[in-house]
A and B are shown apart, each in its own frame.
Chain A
Amino acid sequence: MTTPPRTARVFGSGIRRREDPRLLTGTARYTDDVVLPGMVYAAMLRSPHAHARITRLDTSRAKEAPGVVAVFTAADTESVLKPIPCLWLVPGSDLKTSPYLPLAKDIVRYVGDAVAVVVAEASYQAYDALELIEVDYETLQAVVDPEKTTHDGAPQLHAEAPGNVAFHWVVEGGDVEAAFSSAEVVVRERIIQQRLLPTAMETRSAVAQYVPATGELTLWNTTQNPHIVRFACSVVTGIPEDRLRVIAPEVGGGFGSKIAQYPGDFVTVFCSMKLGLPVKWTETRSENYQATTHGRDHVQDVELAATRDGQITGLRCKVWAAMGAYLSTAAPGIPTILHGLMLSGPYRIPALREDVYGVYTNATPVEAYRGAGRPEATFMLERMIDRLADEIGIDPVDVRKKNLIPPFENGFDVVTGLKYDSGNYVGALDKALAQVEYRTLRAEQARLREQGRYIGIGVSTYVEICGLGPSQVAGAVGFQGGLWESAIVRFHPTGKVNVFIGASPHGQGEETTFAQIVADELGVEVTDVKVVHGDTDNTPMGWGTYGSRTTAVGGAALAVATRKIKDKAMLLAGHLLEAAVEDIEYEGGRFFVKGMPDRAKTIQDIALLANVAWNLPDGMEAGLEATTFYDPPNFTYPFGAHVAVVEVEPDTGRIDLKRYVAVDDCGPQINPVIVEGQVHGGVVQGIGQALWEEAVYDDSGQLLTGSLTDYAIPRADQLPEIEVLSTVTPSPHHPLGVKGIGEAGTISSTCTVYNAVIDALEPFKVASIRMPLTPERVWRAIQSSREGA
């Protein structure tokens, strides 16, 4: 019992991640790495048509193929598997759900809709047999455009949703009509938020092991939320939740695409139930692009009203948000709650109205994709502010400063009804401007323009909603679950600590950052804390890792649990040191009698004595552990300001991204190295949307960017060094003040780069270009401007 006390804080230190050694040595196990005795392999037959009636489906030849164990279609699954539920039923929107079947029956509604599954002894055999399934399709007219799908005469996807409108949701605050009728200036733009492919490097995968003798299922699944998978799997398959174990082992990125509940996972479970064998299914990348959810896909008509001197007076918009062919798990909440409620951003906007139409199209279902609704809101606002600045001839930075909400530390009510927690938007903006020496840069831009060089400077500020969220609010906005998080902190007799969390990090590094929280709160070495997650059989319930909520909510649960432990340890210390608990002080992992620092017990002493329980105060239970269910009182609202500098070559349309500066405020940083890494990755994903990425469908609903050959995610040689800075504004309601950083970069960077490119083209009077800003599109915009002049 001679462990020395800890004094140095590890919270705030950029220590190396404990996740990494296993990832760097190939010993980490992802779902596709799981191998079980007797395992067989599934492959899905997917529709090659965007919209068609199945007139004949013959699997007899496939069933005879070498190694084939079984072939199943909807005729087999329909009596067992229920439709996949949508779990975000946004109220007041006349939401119409339509059956989302694990295997399509009679009609297919997008390229990739699964119609049959082959199970074989080897993966190659399963793919061979797919070729032998005969399907006759009677093709139907398809529609993929989010606006055109609502037009008269458009093909209809679901009988339940006439006009293909799944919901119509409105957010309104202030007197919008008055704002526009009395506006001195109105700027308008149609913005296309193109469809994106999330492209987590690990495709989706499931290994299902059903044991008929016990009725128990173990499902290894690459998911961001194993506890939600357990719940949904129970609903779809009928296996009771207590007999269902979901394990999210190592997960190779998600970015929102591993939130949804997927047909392929449930079909894999079905195969295991029917065959009594462990079954593995892993997507190919091309299959992933068809069958794993996509992101964005909005058409937005936006109008901004303002005074001549740049005061914003109103915002009005109409958005067609594609849902794809079916309503994915959280899809309706994304263009509404996570988008519409954030429309006023960091600005004082007295009046706004948004009409959102969630529409069915013959395309892959859309889900959350990094930022989920907030990038689409931020882009809209930041784009329109630049339009306004251009219209009234005032520097875009000055227009922003005129409208930004002044610094506040404890609550600010905005027009959409949200209460932001804390913010210093001007502070972040000033820091970003100072980093690039904004005024000097503007002068340089003017000088180079005279030489025929076209530099552009893009600026954006943002605030986002994170740490989802108070469960009462979740219920009020139709989320079919809670949004609290839980943590168990357990001291072993030797003074080592296990932490069990319900959240499910998949690359963000919380095994490290959460150990940092515990180490400081309890005064133990960070190496003495192990964080366990991702297995529903040995972790408490959690609602998943998305919406930058794991540290913001799960981290709070952890902090509260450690404080409960400290309270109990204090009582035991008082008892053992024969002093009143009021006389016990705590510092750096030691409990001592006030004024007598040598009469002390370390936290490790207490852990041992609590666990052996030889001498406890009357009524105290043995053990030293605590469980917390933390339901946050409010969301958190990280914010920041980004600046991009580009040069555009007018003769080729080529864009050179010269500088990127990110100032983000996520509150106090537990591990600044990890925070910086999150910003790098997020910024680059947003740049990808601005410059290179688009899921392209042709009019018949064929996905033209169906493989990594055609879909252009950013590569190392296309990017500058991202300059990462921060400000620190704690959240007033969070036990550690932290806010969340996972999505910040993506939310701001698309519009920052876009604004920079349009700024560079100012001499050509190019007002807008459809994203991604490929050289061809930029060149054409310049050409048509030159021809028009």
Chain B
Amino acid sequence: MTLPVTITVNGRPHERVVEPRLLLVHFLRDVVGLTGTKIGCDTSQCGSCTVLLDGTAIKSCTCLAVQADGSSITTIEGLATEGRLNALQDAFWSKHGLQCGFCTPGMVFAAHELLRVHPQPSAEEIRHGLEGNMCRCTGYQNIVRAIEHAAASLGGNA
């Protein structure tokens, strides 16, 4: 069985016919061909696949493509404009908030969500807000610094 879906990804609508069991993350990577969204586990722990669905961060491995029908997704490929990093991306770069880069797309969206809810978070709130995202390289410290830096540069306007 297959079902038609229309999912807008980074501003472009994609009309496709998919199996109902297809995960959103596989839709993004294998159907649309945007491989910036990563898969780091199969139990929804790692958060590497985090994207924005209608402006809210979700783990795209916990959502079926058919559930996302009619919605608008932002992936890591959709953040920079004309090669210019946005404030969060730039903060991760400035504060050495990434090493191997694999968890990074998910971290950036976890940070985006955090700042959306708490525009001026404390370090503790940031650490708590990153609970659902795992990084094995950085020990998280520079990710926390990057988010603090982004919060400061955005001045509460995430």
Contact A26-B36, Cβ < 8 Å, known A253-B136, A708-B43, A722-B139: yes
Return the CB mask of B81-122 against A: 1 if under 8 Å, else 0. 000010001001110101111111100100000000000000
Q: A507-B99, A680-B139, A708-B46 are in contact. List 4 more A-B contacts (CB 8 A).
A: A23-B101, A25-B89, A28-B36, A201-B40
A285 touches B35 (CB 8 A): no
- Give the residue name and chain of the A residue nearest to B39 (CB): A32
Structural contact, B99 and A25, CB atoms closer than 8 A: no
Judge whether B136 and A677 touch: CB under 8 Å.
no
Interface residue A439 (Cβ < 8 Å from any Cβ of B):
no
In chain B, positions 29-70 with a C-beta closer than 8 Å to chain A are 29-30, 33-43, 45-46, 48
Residues of A within 8 A of B42 (CB): 284-286, 707
Is B40 a contact of A716 with CB atoms below 8 Å?
Answer: no
* A681 touches which of B108, B130, B136 (Cβ 8 Å): B136
* CA of A313 to CA of B105, assembled, Å: 53
The reply on B143 being an interface residue by CB < 8 A is yes
Determine if B17 is an interface residue (Cβ-Cβ < 8 Å): no
The interface centre, meaning the residue of A32, A252, A508, A709 with most chain B CB atoms within 10 A of its CB, is A252
A-B contact pairs, 12 of them (CB 8 A): A24-B101, A27-B77, A202-B38, A250-B101, A253-B137, A677-B137, A708-B41, A713-B134, A716-B126, A716-B128, A721-B123, A722-B139
Verify B100–A506 contact, CB threshold 8 A: yes
Task: Name the contact of A24 in the complex, choosing from B35, B93, B127 (C-beta under 8 A).
Answer: B93
Question: Given A684-B139, A716-B127, does the pair A24, B134 have CB atoms closer than 8 Å?
Answer: no
In whole angstroms, how far apart are the Cα atoms of A32 and B40 in the complex?
11
Q: Which residue of B lies closest to A23 (CB)?
A: B101
Q: Does A493 contact B (CB under 8 A)?
A: no
Q: Are B19 and A253 in contact (CB under 8 A)?
A: no
Q: How far is the CA of A714 from the CA of B93 in the complex (A)?
A: 23
In the assembled complex, the Cα of A294 lies from the Cα of B27 at a distance in Å of 32
B41 touches A285 (CB 8 A): yes
Q: Which of B75, B101, B103, B134 contacts A708 (CB 8 A)?
A: B134
Q: B102 is contacted by which of A19, A124, A253, A676 (Cβ under 8 Å)? A: A253
State whether A285 touches B100 (Cβ < 8 A). no
Measured between beta carbons, the chain A residues less than 8 angstroms from B126 are 716
- Cβ contacts under 8 Å, B142 to chain A: 676-677, 680
Q: Are A717 and B36 in contact (CB under 8 A)?
A: no
Distance of A35 Cα from B77 Cα, bound (Å):
17
In the bound complex, residues from chain B placing their C-beta under 8 Å from that of A698 are: none
Q: Does the CB pair A677–B138 fall under 8 Å?
A: yes
Q: Is B102 a contact of A30 with CB atoms below 8 Å?
A: yes
Would you call A252 and B102 a contact (CB within 8 A)?
Answer: yes
Q: Does B16 contact A (CB under 8 A)?
A: no
Q: Would you give the shortest CB distance from A126 to chain B, in whole angstroms?
A: 13
Q: Are B136 and A17 in contact (CB under 8 A)?
A: no
| Closest Cβ–Cβ distance, residue B17 to chain A (whole Å) | 14
**Is there contact, CB below 8 Å, between B76 and A24?**
yes
In the complex, A673 has a CB within 8 A of chain B: yes
Is B141's beta carbon under 8 Å from chain A? Answer: yes
Indicate whether A24 sits within 8 Å of B104 (C-beta atoms), given known contacts A33-B35, A285-B42, A708-B43.
yes
Question: Known contacts A715-B130, A722-B139: does B99 contact A508 (CB below 8 Å)?
Answer: yes
Q: Which residue of A lies closest to B143 (CB)?
A: A716
Inter-chain CA distance A498–B137, complex, in Å, is 28
4 interchain residue pairs of minimum CB distance: A26-B36, A507-B100, A23-B101, A252-B102
A16 — which chain B residues lie within 8 A by C-beta? Answer: 93-94, 96
**Cβ-defined contact, A200 with B136, below 8 A:** yes
Closest to A721 in B: B141
Known contacts A124-B21, A708-B46; A21/B127 CB under 8 A: no
Dominant secondary structure of chain A at its interface with chain B: loop
Cα A25 to Cα B148 with chains together (Å): 20
Check A28/B43 contact, CB under 8 A, given A681-B138, A719-B140. no
Known interface pairs A16-B94, A27-B36; A201-B131 also in contact (CB < 8 Å) = no
Contacts of B43 in A (CB 8 A): 285-286, 707-709
A731 to B44, CA, bound (A): 45
Chain B residue at minimal CB-CB distance from A370: B136
CA distance A598 to B143 in the complex (A): 49
In A182-207, the 8 Å CB interface with B consists of: 199-203
Closest residue of chain B to A688, judged by CB? B136
Q: Is A732 an interface residue (CB 8 A)?
A: no
Q: How far is the CA of A506 from the CA of B99 in the complex (A)?
A: 8
Q: Kindly state whether residue A115 has any CB partner on chain B within 8 Å.
A: no
User: B139 to A124, Cβ gap below 8 A?
Assistant: no
A406 at the interface (CB under 8 A from B): no
| Neighbour of B137 across the interface among A26, A27, A681, CB < 8 A | A681
Secondary structure call for the B interface = loop
Q: C-beta contact mask, A693-729 vs B, less than 8 Å → 1, else 0?
A: 0000000000000011100011111010110000000
| A282: nearest chain-B partner, CB-CB | B39
Interface size on A, residues (CB 8 A): 56
Nearest Cβ on chain A to B133's Cβ, whole angstroms: 8
Contact B139 A708, beta carbon cutoff 8 Å: no
Bound: A295/B102 CA distance, A? 21
Whether A570 is near chain B, meaning CB under 8 Å from some CB there, is no
Shortest distance in angstroms between B28's beta carbon and chain A's nearest beta carbon?
10
* Chain B residues near A199 (CB-CB < 8 A): 136
CB of B49 to closest CB in A, whole Å: 11
A201 B135 Cβ-Cβ under 8 A: yes
Please indicate the chain B residues that have their CB under 8 angstroms from the CB of A708 in the complex: 40-41, 43, 45-46, 134
B30 CB contacts on chain A under 8 angstroms: 123
Report whether A26 and B34 are in contact in the complex, using a CB–CB cutoff of 8 Å: yes
Residue in B closest to A671 when the chains form the complex, CB atoms: B96
Q: Using known A-B contacts A26-B36, A201-B40, determine if residue A684 contacts B140 with beta carbons closer than 8 Å.
A: yes
Closest chain A residue, CB of each to CB of B144? A716
Q: Does A327 sit within 8 A of B, measured CB to CB?
A: no
**Least Cβ–Cβ distance between A741 and chain B, in angstroms:** 13
Residue of A nearest to B141 (CB): A680
B130 lies within 8 A of A25 (CB) = no
- Cβ-defined partner of A714 (8 Å) among B104, B124, B139: B139
Chain A, range 1-52, C-beta contacts under 8 Å to B: 16-17, 19-21, 23-30, 32-33, 35
Q: B154 in the interface, Cβ–Cβ < 8 Å?
A: no
B80 within 8 A of A: yes
Pairwise interchain contact B99-A509, C-beta atoms closer than 8 A = yes
Q: How far is the CA of A364 from the CA of B93 in the complex (A)?
A: 37
Q: Does A425 contact B (CB under 8 A)?
A: no
Q: Does B152 contact A (CB under 8 A)?
A: no
* Residues on B with beta carbons closer than 8 Å to the beta carbon of A680: 138-142
B137 touches A17 (CB 8 A): no
Task: State in angstroms the CA–CA spacing of A507 and B100 once bound together.
Answer: 4
Instruction: Flag whether A674 is at the interface (Cβ < 8 A).
Output: yes
Give chain A residues whose Cβ lies under 8 Å from the Cβ of B29. Answer: 33
Q: Of all chain A residues, which has the CB nearest B35?
A: A33
CB-CB under 8 A from A156, the residues of chain B are none
Q: Is the CB of B99 within 8 A of A26?
A: no
Q: How far is the CA of A582 from the CA of B130 in the complex (A)?
A: 61
Q: Which residues in B have their C-beta under 8 angstroms from that of A23?
A: 98, 101, 104
List B contacts of A722 (CB < 8 A): 139, 141
Asked if A281 is an interface residue, CB under 8 A from chain B, the answer is no
The CB with the most chain B CB atoms within 10 A, among A681, A685, A721, is that of: A681
